[in-house]
Amino acid sequence: MTDTINRFILETTHVRGEWVHLDATWQALLERYDYPPVVRGLLGQALAAVALLSATIKFEGSLILQVTGNGPLNLLVVQAGAHGTVRGLARWRSEVPDADLSAQFGDGRMVITIDPGEGRERYQGVVPLEGSSLSEALEGYFTRSEQLPTRLWLAADGQRAAGLLLQALPGEQRDPDAFDRAVILADTVADEELLEWPVETLLHRLYHEEDVRLLEGGPVSFRCGCSRERVADMLRNLGRAEVEGILADDGVVEVHCEFCNAGYRFDAVDAEQLFAEGEQPPGTRTRH
Core vs surface per residue 221-235: b (16+ CB within 10 A) or e: ebebebeeeebbebb
Per-residue pLDDT tens over the stretch 79-99: 998 778 898 999 999 999 999
Q: 105-109, 160-164, 274-278: lowest mean pLDDT where? A: 274-278
Among 206, 222, 238, where does a domain finish? Answer: 222
Average pLDDT of span 43-55:
94
Q: Is the pLDDT of residue 150 over 60?
A: yes
Note whether 62 and 152 are same-domain residues. yes
Note whether 87 and 172 are same-domain residues. yes
Q: Which residue has the higher pLDDT, 119 or 181?
A: 181
Using alpha carbons, list the distances in angstroms from residue 57 to 51, 52, 88, 167: 11, 10, 20, 13
Exposure on the CB side of residue 109, measured as CA atoms within 13 A: 7
Q: Is the pLDDT of residue 19 over 90?
A: yes
Q: 98-107, 180-189, 194-203, 241-250: lowest mean pLDDT where? A: 241-250
Note whether 133 and 67 are same-domain residues. yes
Note whether 182 and 62 are same-domain residues. yes
Spatial contact of 258 and 78, defined as CB atoms under 8 Å apart: no
Does residue 232 lie within any of the structural domains?
yes
Task: Provide the percentage of residues in the chain whose pLDDT is more than 70.
Answer: 90
Task: Provide the percentage of residues in the chain whose pLDDT is more than 90.
Answer: 55
Note whether 75 and 156 are same-domain residues. yes
Q: What CATH code is carried by the domain that includes residue 261?
A: 3.90.1280.10
Does residue 284 lie within any of the structural domains?
no
pLDDT for the residue numbered 288: 39
Q: Which one, of 13, 3, 5, lies nearest residue 213 by Cα?
A: 13
* Long-range own/partner contacts, residues 124-131 (CB < 8 A, 24 or more apart): 129/67, 129/69, 129/101, 129/102, 129/105, 130/101, 131/100, 131/101
Note whether 262 and 147 are same-domain residues. no
Per-residue pLDDT tens over the stretch 234-282: 778 878 888 888 878 877 788 767 666 666 787 777 777 887 755 444 4
Does residue 46 lie within any of the structural domains?
yes
Tally of structural domains, the chain: 2
Exposure on the CB side of residue 183, measured as CA atoms within 13 A: 14
Note whether 166 and 246 are same-domain residues. no
User: Residue 162 pairs with which residues in a beta bridge?
Assistant: 21, 155
Note whether 188 and 252 are same-domain residues. no
Residue 287 — very low, low, confident or very high, per pLDDT cuts 50/70/90?
A: very low
Does residue 63 lie within any of the structural domains?
yes
Does residue 213 lie within any of the structural domains?
yes
Per-residue pLDDT tens over the stretch 21-35: 999 999 989 988 889
Q: For residue 148, report the phi and psi dihedrals to the nearest 5 degrees.
A: -70, 145
Does residue 279 lie within any of the structural domains?
no
Note whether 163 and 83 are same-domain residues. yes
Does residue 282 lie within any of the structural domains?
no
Note whether 52 and 102 are same-domain residues. yes
Note whether 148 and 243 are same-domain residues. no
Note whether 191 and 254 are same-domain residues. no
What's the whole-model pTM score? 0.81
Q: What CATH code is carried by the domain that includes residue 131?
A: 3.55.30.10
pLDDT for the residue numbered 224: 67
Q: What is the DSSP string of the chain?
A: -TTEEEEEEETTTTEEEEEEEESHHHHHHHTT----HHHHHHHHHHHHHHHHHHTTS--SSEEEEEEE-SSSEEEEEEEEETTSEEEEEEEESSPPPSS-HHHHHSS-EEEEEEE--TTPPPEEEEEE--SSSHHHHHHHHHHHTT-S-EEEEEEE-SS-EEEEEEEEPSS--SSTTHHHHHHHHHTT--HHHHHHS-HHHHHHHHHTTS-EEEPPPEE-EE-----HHHHHHHHHHH-HHHHHHHHHHHSSEEEE-TTT--EEEE-HHHHHHHTTT-PPPP------
- Give the structural domain span for 264: 228-274
Q: What is the mean pLDDT of the chain?
A: 86
pLDDT for the residue numbered 81: 85
Does residue 281 lie within any of the structural domains?
no
Exposure on the CB side of residue 44, measured as CA atoms within 13 A: 31
Q: Which residue has the higher pLDDT, 49 or 231?
A: 49
